[in-house]
Structure 1
Amino acid sequence: MKPTVHDIAKSAGVSLATVDRVLNDRPGVRAVTRSKVEEAIAALGYVRDLAAANLAKGRTYSFVFILPENDNSFMIGLHEEVRGAIARSSAERTHIRIIDVPPFDPDALVDALEKVLAEKPSGVAFVAIDAPEVRAAVGRLKEAGIPTVTLVSDLPDASRDHYAGIDNIAAGRTAGSLMGRFLSGPFLAERGATVAVLAGSMLVRDHRERLEGFSSVIGESYPNVLILPVLEGRDDPALAETVVADALRRHADIAGIYSLGAGNRGLIRAVQKAGMSRRPLVIAHELTASTRAALAEGVIDAVLNQDAGHEVRSAIRVLKAKADGLPVIAGQERIRIDIFLKDNLP
């Protein structure tokens, strides 16, 4: 049976009010009395249930989510998941707000992080941009004791507290393996194949890591596959359509396309309009309304997906734990990579 505050009071010979003052580090307790209470806590092996204590005190956690605002189906979905958390805030004892920033803009992200630093909330979650000024801003948050969680794209060698997202190198390697297997056959063995890669921006680590994983597998296992220079579509459907359509015109032999970022509505339109005698194989990320429809119609061959809802819930759990000084349960916070084909759409 777990020891209680009543057991501590009895062992130390003090009142429950005195135990409460010691546990909450409040004044009004003599040093000798405080020592007695602390000795009783150690002897009994008492471990405080901070979650229950915070509930009893009516504590509310104030969290800020900094998200890129653009015409990107996945990020729109991420916004919706945070708004869902806001709708549940009263039951979950949270106060959550969103700060929108332009995508791929380190200065705008730093400005938002500085505003958070001035407000001193219980924690902040944000989609990271891999830039020195962003790392410096995260360091200042760390010094101020404000927990930070990176979402979707990470800063692994910065002072952030946790990353809520998939292993992007593993995701890229998975895409490379799928592409190589799909293209395998006499055609690839005899003539080789050309593959285009569509990214949002090489400023974000998740896109760079996916490209690294993809290129590694292709180089290791499918040396007859040529990867063209990366196309950057800024996760914008209109720009993605333009750069993909241009690549298909300039390289009539493109056999596959790996879309490692967003802007997939534009990619889909470009492939549909190309009028090629042999449609390129297409592997994309994130199961959205547009990629789901393209899978069903045979325009996309495979989609690698991450659960935005799990990422938001994970970020909130981790920020609560960090605010309370509690450990993070790694297995619970692992974000998995789902692979969807036309045949297994949920």
Structure 2
Amino acid sequence: MRPTVHDIAAEAGVSLATVDRVLNNRPGVRELTRDKVERAIASLGYVRDVTAANLAKGRSYKLIFILPAGDNSFMLGLETEVREAIARSAAERTEIDILFVPAFDPQALANALAEAHRRGPAGVAVVAIDAPEVTDAVRRLRDDGIAVVTLVSDLPGSSRDHFAGIDNIAAGRTAGTLIGRFLGDRAGPVAVLAGSMLVRDHRERLEGFRSVMCESFGSRSILPVIEGQDDPVLVEKLVAALLERHPDIAGIYSLGAGNRGLVAALEKAGRAQVCVIAHELTSYSRAALLSGTIDALLNQDAGHEVRSAIRVLKAKADGLPVLEAQERIRIDVFLKDNLPNGQA
């Protein structure tokens, strides 16, 4: 049986009230008595059930999610997962607010982090942009004891507590292996479509992709990166121009969002033979995968990321360790043959 507070009290020869004061670090306990209680705790191997203690106190965790605004299908799905977490707030003892910022706008994101700081939450989850002002804003939160989890795109130089997202270098390498093997001996260059090089996840995917292409498919030419800002209208325009400039193009790696524009440009140009590897399973990308316009999708589970962020922020607020294996976000690879049932 696990030792209880009653066992501690008996071992130390003190009252339950004294044990409670020591466990909760409250005043009114002599140093000698505190030492006796702490020795009893160590001797018995007592591990406090923080969750039960917080439940008994009716404690609630105030959390803030900062998400990019716009019609990016994956980010809209991420928002949906956060709103589902809000609907579970009573059961999970959380109070969750959402702040929206323009996509790829570092100063707007830094301002939102400052606003979150002003509200004094237990923790903040943020889709990060790798910029000095954002790094500084995250560091200020951490300096004041507010836990920070980065979502989807990381910011490792900021002293953030945890990253809830996939290994993006591995994702890029996976895309490189897929497109290289799918193309085989087919001639022609490969294009890369990104959202913005301001975000680390896009840069890391590109790094992984280029490394595999160089290592295993070195004779394949890779065209300069196109940045479509994850805007379907802009992406369609840029890809249409790309297809005109390079009629021999063999493949496209879409490492960000904006897949609606990519698919529209390919279908209007009648270029279904171009091999396309893209990210995120949405209703649009699912349809394109089934039609053959997209050959493979790399996907990350937005729901797992949101749940992971909440678990980590609560654990950090309680000073508890994070179970890394539980929080690891996997990379799913979908072809039209292994799509999960229903719409994403």
Correspondence for 1:48: 48
Distance 2:221 2:82 in 1: 40
How far residue 30 of structure 1 moved from its aligned partner, in angstroms, is 2.6
Correspondence for 2:203: 208
Correspondence for 1:291: 285
Moved more, 112-121 or 302-311: 112-121
Local SS of the residue matching 1:145: coil
Correspondence for 1:10: 10
Correspondence for 1:71: 71
Correspondence for 2:149: 149
Local SS of the residue matching 2:67: strand
Gaps of 5+ in 2: none
What's the TM-score once normalised by structure 2's chain length? 0.97
How far residue 103 of structure 1 moved from its aligned partner, in angstroms, is 0.4
Correspondence for 2:113: 113
What's the TM-score once normalised by structure 1's chain length? 0.96
Deviations 1:224-253 (A, max 9, x none): 211111111101111111111110111101
Distance 2:221 2:270 in 1: 22
Distance 1:74 1:272 in 2: 22
Asked if 1:270 corresponds to 2:269, the answer is no
Asked if 1:302 corresponds to 2:285, the answer is no
Correspondence for 1:333: 327
- Identical residues among aligned pairs (%): 72
Correspondence for 1:239: 234
Distance 1:249 1:279 in 2: 15
Correspondence for 1:230: 225
How far residue 87 of structure 1 moved from its aligned partner, in angstroms, is 0.3
Local SS of the residue matching 1:227: coil
Distance 1:219 1:34 in 2: 63
1:193–1:224 contact (8 Å) kept in structure 2: no
Local SS of the residue matching 1:181: helix
Distance 1:155 1:102 in 2: 18
Local SS of the residue matching 1:99: strand
How far residue 36 of structure 1 moved from its aligned partner, in angstroms, is 2.1
Q: Give, as a single letter, the amino acid of the residue that structure 2 aligns with 1:336.
A: R
Distance 1:37 1:177 in 2: 59
Gaps of 5+ in 1: none
How far residue 34 of structure 1 moved from its aligned partner, in angstroms, is 2.0
How far residue 275 of structure 1 moved from its aligned partner, in angstroms, is 2.3
Q: Give, as a single letter, the amino acid of the residue that structure 2 aligns with 1:302.
A: A
Q: Give, as a single letter, the amino acid of the residue that structure 2 aligns with 1:327.
A: P
Distance 2:192 2:63 in 1: 36
Distance 1:12 1:165 in 2: 46
Matches for 1:72-221 after TM superposition, within 5 Å: 72-185=72-185, 187=186, 192-221=187-216
Q: Give, as a single letter, the amino acid of the residue that structure 1 aligns with 2:324.
A: A
How far residue 199 of structure 1 moved from its aligned partner, in angstroms, is 0.4
1:62–1:122 contact (8 Å) kept in structure 2: yes
* Equivalent pairs, count: 340
Correspondence for 1:319: 313
Q: Give, as a single letter, the amino acid of the residue that structure 1 aligns with 2:299.
A: N
Q: Give, as a single letter, the amino acid of the residue that structure 2 aligns with 1:312.
A: V
Q: Give, as a single letter, the amino acid of the residue that structure 1 aligns with 2:145.
A: G
Distance 1:32 1:335 in 2: 47
Moved more, 121-130 or 23-32: 23-32
1:66–1:124 contact (8 Å) kept in structure 2: yes
Q: Give, as a single letter, the amino acid of the residue that structure 2 aligns with 1:164.
A: A
Deviations 1:85-122 (A, max 9, x none): 00000000000110000000110111011112122211
Distance 2:307 2:166 in 1: 14
Correspondence for 2:248: 253
How far residue 32 of structure 1 moved from its aligned partner, in angstroms, is 2.7
Moved more, 110-119 or 326-335: 110-119
Runs of 4+ in 1 over 3 A off after TM superposition: none
Deviations 1:106-155 (A, max 9, x none): 10111011112122211000001001111111111111010100000001
Deviations 1:208-236 (A, max 9, x none): 00011111111111122111111111011
